[in-house]
């Protein structure tokens, strides 16, 4: 999904706190990834699953469950299920976007082929539902089935909104819920459900995951235009070149004069980009305050995430989740 998962500091502390659980989840992931009949499957998935991902989503499951005082082990099954859904979407995203690099390695569809990426993604998706069934909780099944539908819907919506400069902030939020926030909020909510938390706490952790996911994606969008600074980093401009309607651009288009509108129509709408256009885009984004406005939105989502946590039990992990939310937006402070 193009997110730079630079959330290491509070996540490292969460990792230490949940180290035993995470080791068990990693073992479970390796076991359930295996296929007796089709050895190609772990070959394809190992590439992604062992590529040093931060395991942010399974961590959110574990954190939510432990925060609610859970002492069983269904949260391990659920954490593995969530990571499988995430990995399946990455595999399908590789096919879709023909992206050439992910996490610094060749994508699966260059190492293997489109067929393997589609089918192995399907396999992981099926495996994730088996893991959920093993939790024995119908509510967990429902939460993750709903999240899976929202993810696919968001991706389809992103396809149809791509390069359409009339895309609104409402549509953007729906897309972001699909591509990022739906799995975050499903992870945290389902974690409370296996722990048997009461509905208010379930809702609180859902809201936390949702707001965290949206903040995360807005920050990611900002970083692609160099954050709130005017310095152009080395990975700046990918979204511009791929003609993505991200939040800063949507805000700049809403405030555009006739010349700026023509610029966005040409570069994003029609994809006619020339030398110097990225610099012009950045200049307009700054002039219209679009980067600052997007950053303010991200900060507001972080506040919502932290506010949601006030309804959660008082616990070290609750504090770490609050720190995680602040850290996400600190990347563009």
For residue 209 the two structure tokens come to 């995951």
All residues at 6 or more sequence positions from 44 whose CB lies less than 8 Å from its CB, including other chains: 91, 108, 111, 112, 116, 117, 120
Minimum CB distance to a copy of itself, residue 1 (Å): 13
**Which residue of 19, 23, 51, 126 would you call a contact of a copy of itself, by CB under 8 A?**
126
Q: Contact region for a copy of itself (CB under 8 A) — 33-41, 71-79, 271-279, 325-333? A: 33-41
Give the span between the Cα atoms of 264 and 128, in whole angstroms. 41
Calculated CA dihedral for residues 153, 157, 160, 165, nearest 10 degrees: 180
Nearest CB to a copy of itself, comparing residues 98 and 279: 98
Q: Contact region for a copy of itself (CB under 8 A) — 59-67, 157-165, 194-202, 223-231? A: 157-165
Give the span between the Cα atoms of 284 and 89, in whole angstroms. 34
Residue (of 119, 120, 145) closest to 132 by Cα position? 145
Count of residues making up the chain: 333
Residue (of 215, 216, 214, 190) closest to 203 by Cα position? 190
Distances (CA, A) of 91 to 26, 47, 221: 19, 11, 21
Residues 38-57 within binding reach of a copy of itself (CB under 8 A) = 38-41
**Which residue of 3, 24, 111, 119 would you call a contact of a copy of itself, by CB under 8 A?**
119
Q: Does 138 bind a copy of itself (CB under 8 A)?
A: yes
Bridge partners, residue 102, by sequence: 105
**Which residue of 5, 155, 277, 292 would you call a contact of a copy of itself, by CB under 8 A?**
155
Q: Does 95 bind a copy of itself (CB under 8 A)?
A: yes
Q: Contact region for a copy of itself (CB under 8 A) — 119-127, 187-195, 244-252, 274-282? A: 119-127
Minimum CB distance to a copy of itself, residue 114 (Å): 7
Nearest CB to a copy of itself, comparing residues 116 and 217: 116
Q: Contact region for a copy of itself (CB under 8 A) — 53-61, 135-143, 261-269, 279-287? A: 135-143
Give the span between the Cα atoms of 109 and 282, in whole angstroms. 33
Q: Contact region for a copy of itself (CB under 8 A) — 16-24, 136-144, 236-244, 253-261? A: 136-144
Give the span between the Cα atoms of 185 and 187, in whole angstroms. 5
Q: What sign does the dihedral 242-243-245-248 (CA atoms) show?
A: positive
Q: DSSP code of 331?
A: T
**Which residue of 5, 17, 73, 153 would you call a contact of a copy of itself, by CB under 8 A?**
153
Give the span between the Cα atoms of 221 and 255, in whole angstroms. 18
Q: Does 270 bind a copy of itself (CB under 8 A)?
A: no
**Which residue of 63, 76, 157, 218 would you call a contact of a copy of itself, by CB under 8 A?**
157
Nearest CB to a copy of itself, comparing residues 57 and 288: 57
For residue 301 the two structure tokens come to 């989502």
Query: To which residue do tokens 């293997």 refer?
Result: 112
Q: Does 19 bind a copy of itself (CB under 8 A)?
A: no
Rounded to an integer, what is the distance from CA 35 to the centroid of its chain?
27
**Which residue of 8, 16, 27, 160 would you call a contact of a copy of itself, by CB under 8 A?**
160
Binding stretches for a copy of itself (CB under 8 A): 35, 37-41, 89, 92, 95-96, 114-116, 118-120, 122-123, 125-127, 129-130, 132-133, 136, 138, 141-142, 144-146, 148-149, 151-157, 159-160, 174
């Amino acid at each position: 999904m193009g997110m730079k998962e630079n959330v290491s500091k509070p996540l490292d502390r969460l990792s230490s706190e949940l180290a035993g659980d995470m080791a068990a989840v990693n073992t479970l992931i390796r076991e359930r990834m295996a296929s007796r009949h089709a050895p190609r499957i772990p070959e394809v998935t190992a590439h992604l699953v062992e590529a040093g991902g931060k395991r942010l989503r399974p961590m959110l499951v574990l954190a939510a469950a432990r925060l609610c005082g859970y002492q069983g082990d269904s949260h391990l099954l659920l954490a593995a299920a969530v990571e499988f859904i995430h990995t399946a979407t990455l595999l399908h995203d590789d096919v879709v976007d023909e992206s050439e690099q992910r996490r610094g390695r060749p994508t699966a569809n260059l190492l293997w082929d489109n067929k393997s990426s589609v089918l192995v993604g399907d396999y992981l998706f099926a495996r994730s539902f088996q893991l959920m069934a093993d939790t024995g909780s119908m509510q967990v099944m429902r939460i993750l089935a709903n999240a899976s539908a929202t993810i696919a819907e968001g991706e389809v919506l992103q396809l149809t909104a791509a390069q359409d400069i009339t895309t609104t902030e409402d549509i953007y939020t729906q897309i972001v819920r699909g591509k990022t926030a739906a799995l975050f909020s499903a992870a945290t909510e389902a974690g409370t459900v296996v722990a048997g938390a009461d509905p208010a706490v379930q809702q609180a952790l859902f809201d936390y995951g949702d707001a965290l996911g949206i903040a995360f994606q807005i920050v990611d969008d900002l970083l692609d235009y160099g954050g709130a600074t005017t310095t152009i980093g080395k990975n700046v401009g990918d979204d511009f070149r791929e003609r993505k309607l991200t939040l800063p651009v949507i805000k700049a288009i809403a405030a555009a004069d006739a010349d700026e509108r023509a610029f966005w129509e040409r570069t994003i709408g029609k994809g006619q980009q020339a030398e110097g256009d990225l610099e012009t885009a950045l200049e307009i984004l700054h002039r219209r305050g679009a980067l600052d406005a997007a950053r303010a939105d991200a900060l507001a989502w972080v506040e919502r995430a932290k506010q949601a946590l006030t309804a959660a039990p008082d616990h070290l992990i609750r504090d770490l989740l609050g720190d995680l939310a602040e850290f996400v937006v600190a990347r563009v402070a």
